[in-house]
Structure 1
């Protein structure tokens, strides 16, 4: 049994807590808004009153929205005394931001691994995520047993920031896909082919991504006119798309398709679709 703290109990942080409790660990959770720890507490997690209680745990997992939130928590953890602890950041950040956070924690005497994950709440609860890790080999070796309880595959990719870099590459095709699906569906106008049939055939084709296999009915319902709440919604997709565009500037890459996709996301979100499934972008584009 490991003594683990999870900082950030949104949808994913809560799923991490439930999974790690299920696999026999002692879990403590903390969230800036304490009421959001309720679901994890109901599953058996202890609730820390402050971050000073968090540093009593040997391993600290971060599941936060952005670099500002992660940096703020890290600064508080350092102030509480983080020496000898292992911090695993599961958030999706820019690689440059991750490396900066790693340097601060290392200087304070902690170890650090960045391991953003591919997958949403359902896979997290089943331990079926895809883990992309960066950090020192010795730190990754300590993190791997716990990460393996959350992930069906965990890959150590290199030094700190490598996991963040890979996560951006993994999420970019998905963010773009909802745009290309709209173009594909537009070719069927006037054909009489239903959304059910089209999505079924696309799912079974070489062009069918996993998201259609996992969320086919959600996509069909959305295309038939009923937007569905998103586990990875338009706001989250745009956030990661924007991170990809920012990182592309740093490494000197050009992402013209991503830029156009970002404009489409912004229009859909302006029309109130922020919290809906990615397929709502497809429907929105088809309705123009």
Structure 2
């Protein structure tokens, strides 16, 4: 099957790698063409525009950073909606506002294509292994059409409702985890005077009821950073995490709801980003906060 990947950042690239590994003919597009080079060297075909990508493929996965990028890539002069969409399948895995998914999906549908939203849980590793968690929104028949290829990328697929529902649940899933990384940094701050070895302290904190599953993979990395070692590769960038928190807060406002804890965490992520940690893994905020407290007192 000819499958396009529109947006080849960390996650988009990982999805493209997975699709190639299982035998699909993969096309790619990214605003910064340099980010497609490793994929084209591995056998993917680069397309000059999003419109050309959808025209040259049977199905297209879209993985974009935020709402502004989505609007530009879909509605721009050479965007997805400028291509010949009739009969195509568009699966959008971006994490954006629910109303953005609804508006884009309606536009794609008017052009004769099938549109399904499928924001995913999981980072680069699970994407390459085909072990993502898909949170799907769309009409039942459209979702059924998308299922065969989604099953090749995901360990679990949940159809949670109409367009916009997938985006809503994805924001709900990310919110407590991102708040946890900040809360962990605060836990480490009040333990700092004990001078416990970082690996031991992380091990203690990890063996408790309040620890998320993500600590199994990231706890050892955080301990190493606390011990002075480099941050290492990024699985889920801090700037992307900040964007997700901001989007959740914006979504809540449209529902006339308040998210005081998420709003406070968002301010901490914004501060960490301003300190130069935007490209680091989101878990960097856990080690940043104790260090930041030390600097503040000096």
- Confirm or deny: 8 A CA contact 1:182 1:285 kept in the other structure: yes
Q: Which residue of 1 aligns with 2:95?
A: 92
Please give the per-residue CA displacement for 1:94-138, whole angstroms capped at 9, x wherever unaligned.
001111101111111111111111111111000111111101111
Q: Deviation of residue 227 (structure 1)?
A: 5.0
Q: Deviation of residue 273 (structure 1)?
A: 1.6
Tell me how far apart the structure 1 counterparts of residues 165 and 224 of structure 2 sit (CA, whole Å): 37
Deviates more, 1:227-236 or 1:146-155: 227-236
Q: 1:280 to 1:140 in 2, by over 3 A?
A: same
Q: Does 1:199 align with 2:202?
A: yes
Tell me how far apart the structure 1 counterparts of residues 33 and 273 of structure 2 sit (CA, whole Å): 28
Deviates more, 1:81-90 or 1:182-191: 182-191
Q: 1:186 to 1:69 in 2, by over 3 A?
A: closer
Q: Secondary structure at the match of 2:156?
A: strand
Q: Deviation of residue 29 (structure 1)?
A: 1.1
| 1:285 counterpart (269, 286, 289) | 289
Tell me how far apart the structure 2 counterparts of residues 25 and 279 of structure 1 sit (CA, whole Å): 33
Tell me how far apart the structure 1 counterparts of residues 186 and 131 of structure 2 sit (CA, whole Å): 31
Tell me how far apart the structure 2 counterparts of residues 24 and 53 of structure 1 sit (CA, whole Å): 18
Unaligned runs of 5+ in 1: none
How many residues get paired? 287
Q: Which residue of 2 aligns with 1:72?
A: 72
Q: Which residue of 2 aligns with 1:158?
A: 161
- TM-score, length-scaled by structure 1: 0.94
- Confirm or deny: 8 A CA contact 1:114 1:133 kept in the other structure: yes
- Confirm or deny: 8 A CA contact 2:189 2:289 kept in the other structure: no
Tell me how far apart the structure 1 counterparts of residues 127 and 139 of structure 2 sit (CA, whole Å): 25
Tell me how far apart the structure 2 counterparts of residues 167 and 272 of structure 1 sit (CA, whole Å): 26
| 2:275 counterpart (268, 271, 275) | 271
Q: Which residue of 1 aligns with 2:296?
A: none
Q: Does 1:221 align with 2:221?
A: no
Q: Deviation of residue 255 (structure 1)?
A: 0.7
Tell me how far apart the structure 1 counterparts of residues 237 and 91 of structure 2 sit (CA, whole Å): 24
Tell me how far apart the structure 2 counterparts of residues 121 and 283 of structure 1 sit (CA, whole Å): 22
Please give the per-residue CA displacement for 1:5-55, whole angstroms capped at 9, x wherever unaligned.
111111111111110111121111122222221111122212223332432
